[in-house]
Every structure is written in C-alpha cells, then in structure tokens.
Amino acid sequence: MPAPDPPPAPASEARLPAEPWNDPKATPLIKIRNVIKRFDGFVAVDDVWLDIYKGEFFSLLGPSGCGKTTLLRLLAGFEQPTSGTIEIDGVDMAGVPPHRRPVNMMFQSYALFPHMTVEQNVGFGLKQEHVPRREISRRVGEMLELVQLADLGRRRPHQLSGGQKQRVALARALIKRPKLLLLDEPLGALDRRLREQTQFELVNIQETLGLTFIIVTHDQDEAMTVSTRIAIMDRGRTVQVGTPGEIYEYPNSLYVAGFVGDVNVFEGRVVEAGKDHVTVRSPESGCDIYTDRGIDAVPGQEAYAAIRPEKIEIGKAPPADARFNCVTGRVFDIAYLGSLSTYHVRLATGEVVKVSAANRSRLVERPITWEDQVWLWWPPSASVVLLS
C-alpha cells in the first residue's frame, strides 16, 4: 500500500520552515520501496513505502510487534529485506553490510561496551576508521561537551546513571556524523521527567548537527513532541504518514485516531456527503453529526464520526442552536487532572462520551458535578468522519 497522500497541510505545525515532503522536486534521502520482511512465515514488515528527507526527525510509532524495530534494523543492515529496495542517499543498500553503511544506530539497551571508558566508547567509531589519535580525542571531547558529559570521560558504563548512559550512547552514535541516525526507543528506559527534558535536547542536537533522525517509539507523546513527521504502523504496514498535526487532526482510520490521543467515536451511517461537508446519523449519539470536511462516501454507507474530548464544549444549559452536533446526558465520572478535568458523560442511549475542559477557575464550587444533566456540543470543524 503506498503511503496515502497527505491531506492539505493545515496551519503549519511543522518544525522546519520547509516541508520537503510537500515539494515534488525534493529528492528524499531515504527511499523505502515495497519492502517486505518475513521471518519463518511471519510477516514483520509488510510492503512499506516511505520517503524520508534530509534533516527530518521521523518517527515510527506503533504498538510492540508492529514491525517498527524490524524496519529500523533493515535500514541499519542487520536484517535483509525479503523483497523491495532501500536506498540511502541514492545508493541501493542491498548487499551493503552494516559496517559499511553511512548509518549509525542508538540501541534500546544502549549497548555500551562495559570494558571501555566513556571516552573509548564514544571514540570507538572513529578508531575503526583509523582516524589519528589526537583527532579522535579532540572530536570525542567536542561530542562529550555537546551531550554535557565532559567531566565523565574516564568513567566506565557501570558507574553511570541511566540518563548518562543514554547520552554516551547518543554521543557514540553521533560521532561519525552519519547521514542517518537510527534511534530504537532511545528514551524508553528513562523516567518521565527526564524523558521529557531529554526529548527537547534530542531535537536541539539534531538541529544543531543538521542530521536526519529516525526514531522508533511506542510512546505517542514522544513522537508528537520530537517529530517532523510520524509513520503510524500496525502489523507491519504503515497506516498513515504525516506531521503530528495531521495525524492528530485528520487521522485516516479509527486505528490511528485511537492510537494517538483520546477520541470519542460514534458509529452511524452517512446521510449526506458533499465536497465540503458530511452528515452522519448515529443512533449512538441521538443526533446528526455535521462535519465541515468532505469525504468520498455515498449516503447510507457505514461511517464513524470521531471527536477529540477537548474539542467538545460542556454546559448545563443547551446551546442556542441544538439541531446538530449536540447531545445531552448525565455526568457519571469526573477525573480531575489539575490543569484539566475529564468528564465522563453517559448519554440516554447508554454511550459514554469523554469531554475534557481546562480548569480555568479554581474548582472549589464545582460548576459541574456528578449526576448533573449536561449538554455537549461541538463545532463542525471538531469532528472527522472515518470509513474504517
């Protein structure tokens, strides 16, 4: 399945000023064409087709077992594709062994050499190329400076904390300035606070050095934070490729909508579909859902309307225009998260709708509380209609 055409980019969430994937004249740095990888009858990577451009921070996001790590290992050369081609910078990688590829990898386990100091670990790649000793020590020093480990060069890996090991692994993978850096769950072993801080450092380092990163992760927040584009993977296939904004606002399937962020889904049938609007009648919601973004569908076709919880308004009185996009129900659960509250509202049909609202004022008097009858409504731009 070729990657679906990205929908017209909404307001530019992209980090880079340029969006090479929207430029038909741009040449991708990495071309993955029809790549299939089978292990003993099990298809790990199923016909993947991707273009990745220079300077991108590209994420492969998916649950474990979706083939994202296998795809990374195919790029590194540890696995050979069963069929299909991988080109890096115009060179077909078929038959190029991993130690000759212009690619470096940062391993999930970090894979630091336990018998070497931090400096020796970081310098290992240069030593393989017989770079003069003084040159190695200068570049190792620079790299340790960049990852803020300048004082720890003489330590051994077992004397480092998890965060420090992560930086050593990063420095070691970066020292050869690879055309492409592959990161396999690079922050998976760090605790949450450190992970969030490190995400931004990773992006800064990537921008400073102007390299191309491909990161494998199962953490959607991480992918959203760092990526220029994300490929969502499921059972070996890329389901959707797009910027974080596109993926979140315009998921192309229920799978993507559910994988990235929280979503309310109403199942129903298309009543009317046009170029610039769709109406879905859903028995679950009890109202017609009007969306201001057209899809290719015929009336009567089964469809799902997906609405993000934060795009729904909640109030104790019905809105002025309650013909469309308005349901009513009772609050049966409230999750107070400090900055947000998530209300679980049970509709008359039994369906539960999640609504999150920012707690702008202090919640002492609780404007909305348990068992309150509430109205939920949303603008036509809030929903997306999906056919699968």
Partner 1 sequence: MSGQPAQTPAPYVSPGPQTTAFEVLERTTSAFSFYGVLARFVQWLERSGRTLVIALPFLWLGLFFLAPFLIVLKLSFSETVLAVPPYAPLVAWLEENGLSYLTVRLNLSNYILLFEDSLYVRAFLNSLRISAVATFLTLCVALPLANAMSRAPERWRALLLMMVILPFWTSFLIRVYAWIGILKPEGILNAVLIGLGVISEPLTILNTDIAVYIGIVYSYLPFMVLPIYASFEKMDPSLIEAAVDLGSPPIKAFWTITVRIALPGIIAGCLLVFIPAAGEFVIPDLLGGSETLMIGRTLWLEFFNNRDWPLASAVAIVLLAALTVPIVLFQRHQARRGSEDGAA
Least CB distance from residue 183 to partner 1, whole Å? Answer: 12
Least CB distance from residue 52 to partner 1, whole Å? Answer: 19
d(CA 306, CA 248) in angstroms, rounded, equals 11
CB nearer to partner 1: pick between 134 and 158: 158
Side by side, which strands form the sheet with 180-184?
103-106, 180-184, 212-217, 57-61, 229-234, 237-242
CB nearer to partner 1: pick between 74 and 303: 74
CB nearer to partner 1: pick between 181 and 205: 181
Q: Is 148 left (phi over 0), alpha (psi -120 to 50) or beta?
A: left
Strand partners, 333: 344
Smallest CA-to-CA distance from 374 within 345, 334, 351, 348 is with 345
Least CB distance from residue 158 to partner 1, whole Å? Answer: 7
d(CA 297, CA 301) in angstroms, rounded, equals 7
CB nearer to partner 1: pick between 164 and 342: 164
Query: Which residues, at least 6 apart from 210, have a Cβ–Cβ distance to it below 8 Å?
Result: 55
Contact residues toward partner 1 (CB under 8 A) are 76, 78, 97-100, 103-105, 107-109, 111, 113-115, 124-125, 128-129, 154-156, 158-159, 172-173, 176
Least CB distance from residue 271 to partner 1, whole Å? Answer: 55
CB-based contact 344:352 (threshold 8 Å): yes
Give the chain's radius of gyration (CA, Å): 24
Least CB distance from residue 48 to partner 1, whole Å? Answer: 21
CB nearer to partner 1: pick between 114 and 274: 114
